[in-house]
Structure 1
């Protein structure tokens, strides 16, 4: 059996859970740890960018919030099967530490670690605990908080860590901000699955309302759903705006480094990337987010002066155009926003979280 310390990461299938989990896996491998990822079949499809050295453990998981009536009725049995299978796997190959990043696929591993009394902690990316993390918060050794302050239940021990960002983001972190009165202007629009549809309608109309001296200098990168691609491309062609549209950008760090302005949802990972890079932003929180956590994520950045926030219910092309114009017509003010944004970043979040994992192993792990 390997003498390497062993970390098991439990995470759900969205980018918000998987990006920080990926960042930690990279850091722990570099520190000489063996790392596994425990997730469900859906989560495994989002794990393609994890290092090859990270082994995947696909287990049964389910939620009461999705699926047919029959599927929801069988949820307790599915969860029980996942917990039993994961407990047996951990018994055979016992991790030194288990960390959960939230999402219902993390539940079996976190429950199994509790049964086997394995040291465990959770990382919560958002300013409001998700359901699975809320359930375990007072039962684990530590809650590492990505957003601060994050309200915690009685008995939970929390520490402000920040949200780990991927190595590719860190490599470009703090790149100089550029916006000149007469040079090119780069706008990055990243909506993800919870923003691309809405942004495809509102952003082109907002761009059409910008003053010509701004619009004429624009280079736009926008995430657009395939079904909207032709319509949005045609609109920008009519506006004579240089626009690169893709369903997904695999070079977000480079685009962030060149961005004069970012328009985005305020998911935890998006906010972490924007603040570590230091870019002015217009944030549109996802209205249907559980417990309104995207507003909580944006709060600190807005209060620091690094971003404007527009509620989805108030979002109009005219209002968005006004914010874009205010930022891009004032290079000095935009640079100040970039600096304020950078002040909110936590580029050391991954290292901090890795140190917590190692400390937990030393204080509560098995004797060496």
Structure 2
């Protein structure tokens, strides 16, 4: 009750009565910001990249379903695909073996150092919808399929995904609805339509505030009276 202002990363954010709030956006890392609005190469008859992010520790459900969903794609798409997938340590070998056995080029790791680079080079991103992941996808501007974490206490990942879904920049699949067939169809619809994919990429860029870091710092300085260095 002593807070003067709540800075919100996602809009709309429901606030308690009489609490002042402002949408400033989610700050992103410098390496992501340096690729803001990087040109998007739509899917086609050329090498394509799918980047799969599962959050800070990977996501077992993505390791279980994404490889099979991708293997179900038609050959005219599969022939050009390379998958970069984040997975838990204990899942990496299994996931990599599945891709290899199905003739799909892949790079499976517990962690990718240069996430911004993989995001900017991807034709499609499959991801959880944590606040930072959603912000990164929007700043760089890429089509995405988002699977919100169902166990989140306030279902905040569904709320995080809402701006991208509303702007037709992402396909959102609830975790309890996720299946190999549903995910494979969603991937196919995007990668078989360069026009649709390009529109999703452009729409993603409209959902974020590029100057979120500056706006947040300005409010801190304004309220505290101290400069942010």
Write 1 or 2 for the structure with the bigger share of helix: 1
Which one has more relative contact order, counting CA pairs under 8 Å at least 6 apart? 2
1:279 to 112, 132, 142: 142
CA deviation string 1:337-358 (max 9, x = no partner): 0001111021110011011111
Q: 1:360 Cα shift?
A: 1.3
Q: Do the aligned partners of residues 319 and 195 (structure 1) sit closer, same or farther apart at CA in structure 2, a change above 3 Å counting?
A: farther
Instruction: Say whether residues 1:178 and 2:41 are aligned partners.
Output: yes
1:147 counterpart residue number: 10
Q: Do the aligned partners of residues 175 and 182 (structure 1) sit closer, same or farther apart at CA in structure 2, a change above 3 Å counting?
A: same
Range that drifts further, 187-196 or 252-261: 187-196
SS in 2 for 1:172: coil
TM-score, with structure 1 as normaliser: 0.60
Instruction: Say whether residues 1:189 and 2:63 are aligned partners.
Output: no
Higher Cα Rg, which structure: 1
CA deviation string 1:294-339 (max 9, x = no partner): 1111111101000000010010011000000000000011000000
2:169 counterpart residue number: 306
Range that drifts further, 174-183 or 285-294: 174-183
Q: Distance in 1 between matches of 2:208 and 2:6?
A: 19
Q: Do the aligned partners of residues 180 and 287 (structure 1) sit closer, same or farther apart at CA in structure 2, a change above 3 Å counting?
A: closer
1:69 counterpart residue number: none
2:133 counterpart residue number: 270
SS in 2 for 1:354: helix
Aligned pair count reads 226
Unaligned 5+ runs, structure 1: 1-137
Moved over 4 A (4+): none
- Please report the RMSD computed on the Cα atoms of aligned residues, expressed in angstroms: 1.2
Confirm or deny: 8 A CA contact 2:55 2:130 kept in the other structure.
Answer: no
1:245 to 105, 108, 125: 108
CA deviation string 1:272-315 (max 9, x = no partner): 00001100000000000011111111111101000000010010
Instruction: Say whether residues 1:331 and 2:194 are aligned partners.
Output: yes
Q: Distance in 2 between matches of 1:357 and 1:174?
A: 27
1:36 counterpart residue number: none
SS in 2 for 1:192: coil
1:166 counterpart residue number: 29
SS in 2 for 1:353: helix
SS in 2 for 1:301: helix
Q: Distance in 1 between matches of 2:17 and 2:2?
A: 10
